Amino acid sequence: MTPPRKLHIKSYGCQMNVYDAQRMVDTLAPEGFVETASVDDADLVILNTCHIREKASEKVYSELGRLRVAKDEAARHGRQMSIAVAGCVAQAEGDEIIRRAPVVDVVVGPQSYHHLPQLLARAKSHGRALETEFPVDDKFGFLAPPKPDAIRARGISSFVTVQEGCDKFCTFCVVPYTRGAEVSRPVARIVDDVLRLADNGVREITLIGQNVNAYHGEGPDGRIWSLGALLHRLAGIPGIVRLRYSTSHPRDVDETLIEAHRDLTALMPFVHLPVQSGSDRILAAMNRRHSVADYRRVIDRFRDARQDIAFSSDFIVGFPGETEEDFVATLALVTQIGYAGAYSFKYSPRPGTPAADMQETVSAADMDERLVRLQELIDSQQSAFNVATIGNTVNVLFERTARNPGQIVGRTAYLQPAHVMASTDIIGQVLPVTIASLERYSLLGELAPAVDAQSVFSHLTHSSQMITGA
Ligand code: SF4
């Protein structure tokens, strides 16, 4: 029997890349590849790149420099190591990678990784292979499904891609160029994926897409289904106890999504809804196509539908032309909304995007100072949200053993890690936990006999008052 070939994937960036990396493993498994944690052992190394962060391509080239050493070392021991670059940097700069980095055997864009086996074969016979077109075929129809043991090894929580690409063209963002136009997968395929995951022990599904609530997939009735309709369908699958979705655009929140939050207990009351800025002037320059008032109205609609809902968001500070007044408007919005957490970044230009050509740049010192002020505010809101949980009983979905012996860790509805002393039998179950204390961002507690829904609700009301000062 031929020994298995070893595959090492290094993935950067978003949840979509984490998911894509798993699907690459699944696609290469029938070719005899098994995953290895060590680069030095690998017969194939894939860098699954991200173009969102600053100097993304330079980081790829310095990683490739390290891989060249590993590849030479393997060759000295009579082993052939192949190197592939996948993901958004591959899509954006494929030709340049082939030109600058002879160590690379295969370059493959995010829409084409289902062709990895053929590309590796082509590289073997022709020396190198590049594929960065947006193919007409639906890659999900071609990907090998994960094997049951692979699903079980990945735990009780799983991502499922339902939509890819984006037509919004925010002026700072590369996604429409690297992931292409919005495409939604048919409902039946998603249902098949979730049934397979549920059959193999998955209890929580996070539906992912660059603009997930723009989902408009073909339903089994031949009509176009919204994300809300899809969530209703998935909530009926036995074994699936929690549903989430990410990342949403405020403009695409429709009534079916609001209704899903009102009607589905499996749909977690925690929504990541990026706003990026609290200034209408900057939102217009970003081409976000919504105002601050629109965003607040969307938040109010969610809160009217489900009182225990909480939000996280993304913010960019120092977008070209951002004044102190614009930035103060962002702080004001954060104060008004009251987030359970948020991600904030300094603006940095992405080559090829309209914002990269904008002249009115903000000084590095101003960006640094604004980021500190924003993060202090967000941290104080997150701490208040977590502290308000102490003394309450909340539902936790238990995921795995913790580092501390005897402890099992799970997550609350709001993705807060929660630890209890218990047996491993509780993994995969949603159980009530009375929270006793908070250590940094982790909650510590004890299993409780039953959830007191009223106390969960009072914690949120309390938290919200602490956050907003209302
Ligand atoms: S909506 Fe999101 S993914 Fe689409 S262009 Fe804007 S920031 Fe990028």
Q: By three-state DSSP, how is residue 447 classified?
A: strand
**Maximum Cα–Cα distance for the chain, whole Å?**
69
Amino acid at residue number 434:
T
Length of the chain: 470
Cα of 169 vs centre of ligand 1, distance in Å, is: 6
CA distances 353 to 34, 72, 106, 154, 263, Å, are 38, 37, 26, 36, 40
Q: Is 173 in the pocket of ligand 1 (CB under 6 A)?
A: yes
Q: Is 382 in the pocket of ligand 1 (CB under 6 A)?
A: no
| Ligand 1 atom closest to the CA of 287, numbered from 1 | 6
Cα of 339 vs centre of ligand 1, distance in Å, is: 21
Shortest-distance Cα residue to atom 1 of ligand 1: 168
Cis preceding linkage at 247, omega within 30: yes
pTM summary value? 0.85
Cα of 173 vs centre of ligand 1, distance in Å, is: 6
pLDDT tens by residue, 84-112 = 999 888 888 888 899 999 999 999 988 88
Q: Which residues contact 148 (CB under 8 A, 6 or more apart)?
A: 199, 200
> What local confidence, expressed as pLDDT, does residue 137 receive?
58
Q: Is 176 in the pocket of ligand 1 (CB under 6 A)?
A: yes
Q: Is 175 in the pocket of ligand 1 (CB under 6 A)?
A: yes
Q: Is 233 in the pocket of ligand 1 (CB under 6 A)?
A: no
Q: Is 210 in the pocket of ligand 1 (CB under 6 A)?
A: yes
Q: By three-state DSSP, how is residue 319 classified?
A: coil
Cα of 170 vs centre of ligand 1, distance in Å, is: 5
Shortest-distance Cα residue to atom 8 of ligand 1: 173
Mutate to test the pocket of ligand 1, among 17, 52, 169 (most ligand atoms within 8 A of CB): 169
Q: What angle do CA 276, 279, 281 make, to 5 degrees?
A: 110
Q: Is 170 in the pocket of ligand 1 (CB under 6 A)?
A: yes
Cα of 286 vs centre of ligand 1, distance in Å, is: 10
Amino acid at residue number 420:
V
C-alpha–C-alpha distance, residues 128 and 84, integer Å: 10
Cα of 51 vs centre of ligand 1, distance in Å, is: 13
Shortest-distance Cα residue to atom 6 of ligand 1: 170
Q: Is 211 in the pocket of ligand 1 (CB under 6 A)?
A: yes
Would you state the structure tokens that stand for residue 121, as one six-digit string? 């074969």
Q: Is 181 in the pocket of ligand 1 (CB under 6 A)?
A: no
Q: Say if CB 259 and CB 305 are below 8 A apart.
A: yes
| Ligand 1 atom closest to the CA of 176, numbered from 1 | 5
Q: What residues in the chain have per-residue pLDDT under 70?
A: 1-2, 53-54, 134-138, 450-470
